[in-house]
C-alpha cells in the first residue's frame, strides 16, 4: 500500500482498519487494470452543526465503478472474518439479476476474479 495509508493516518490521526486498508489495495489494483473506481459511503452522519445527514442507501457496495469495457460493477469489501449484511447481499443479488458484475471481495485476487479483469 505504500505511503498512502500512512499519510492518511498522520493527517487524520485515526488508524485505518483492516477493511479500509484492503479496500485501498483493491481500489489501486483495479485502477492499475484500467477500471474507474469510486468509494461509496452509505449511512447516517452528522455535519458540523450536529444535523443528521443520510447518504447512499442501505446495502450499497463499498466500491463501484466501470471496468475497462465500460461495464458497471459493484464490490463489497470484507476481511476474512467480515460478514455482509442482509442489505448488502440483496444489493449484490440485484446486480447479478441485472447482469452487473458484483460480489464480496476478501482479497485483491478475488476482486480481479469477480470483475474478470487482470
pLDDT at 8: 45
Structure confidence by residue, pLDDT tens digits, 4-48: 444 444 455 667 899 999 999 999 999 999 999 999 988 888 999
* pLDDT for the residue 11: 52
Delineate the domains of the chain, giving CATH numbers in brackets.
Answer: 22-115 (3.40.1350.10)
What is the C-alpha R_g of the chain?
15
Residues forming a β-bridge with 38: 64
pLDDT tens digits along 71-95: 999 999 999 999 999 999 999 999 9
Helix axes 108-115, 18-32, angle to 10 degrees: 50
Grid coordinates representing 38 are: 469510486
The pLDDT, as a whole number, for residue 43 is: 85
The predicted structure's pLDDT at residue 3: 39
Least confident stretch, 22-31, 52-61, 92-101: 52-61
Please check the confidence at residue 117 and state whether its pLDDT lies above 70. yes
Amino acid at each position: 500500500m505504500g505511503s498512502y495509508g500512512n499519510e492518511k493516518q498522520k493527517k487524520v490521526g485515526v488508524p485505518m482498519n483492516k477493511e479500509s486498508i484492503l479496500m485501498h489495495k483493491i481500489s489501486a489494483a483495479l485502477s492499475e487494470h484500467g477500471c474507474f473506481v469510486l468509494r461509496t459511503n452509505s449511512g447516517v452522519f452528522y455535519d458540523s452543526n450536529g444535523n443528521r445527514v443520510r447518504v447512499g442507501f442501505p446495502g450499497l457496495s463499498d466500491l463501484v465503478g466501470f471496468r475497462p469495457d465500460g461495464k458497471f460493477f459493484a464490490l463489497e469489501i470484507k476481511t476474512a472474518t467480515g460478514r455482509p449484511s442482509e442489505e448488502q447481499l440483496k444489493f449484490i443479488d440485484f446486480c447479478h439479476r441485472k447482469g452487473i458484475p458484483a460480489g464480496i471481495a476478501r482479497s485483491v485476487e478475488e476482486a480481479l476474479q469477480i470483475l474478470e479483469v487482470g
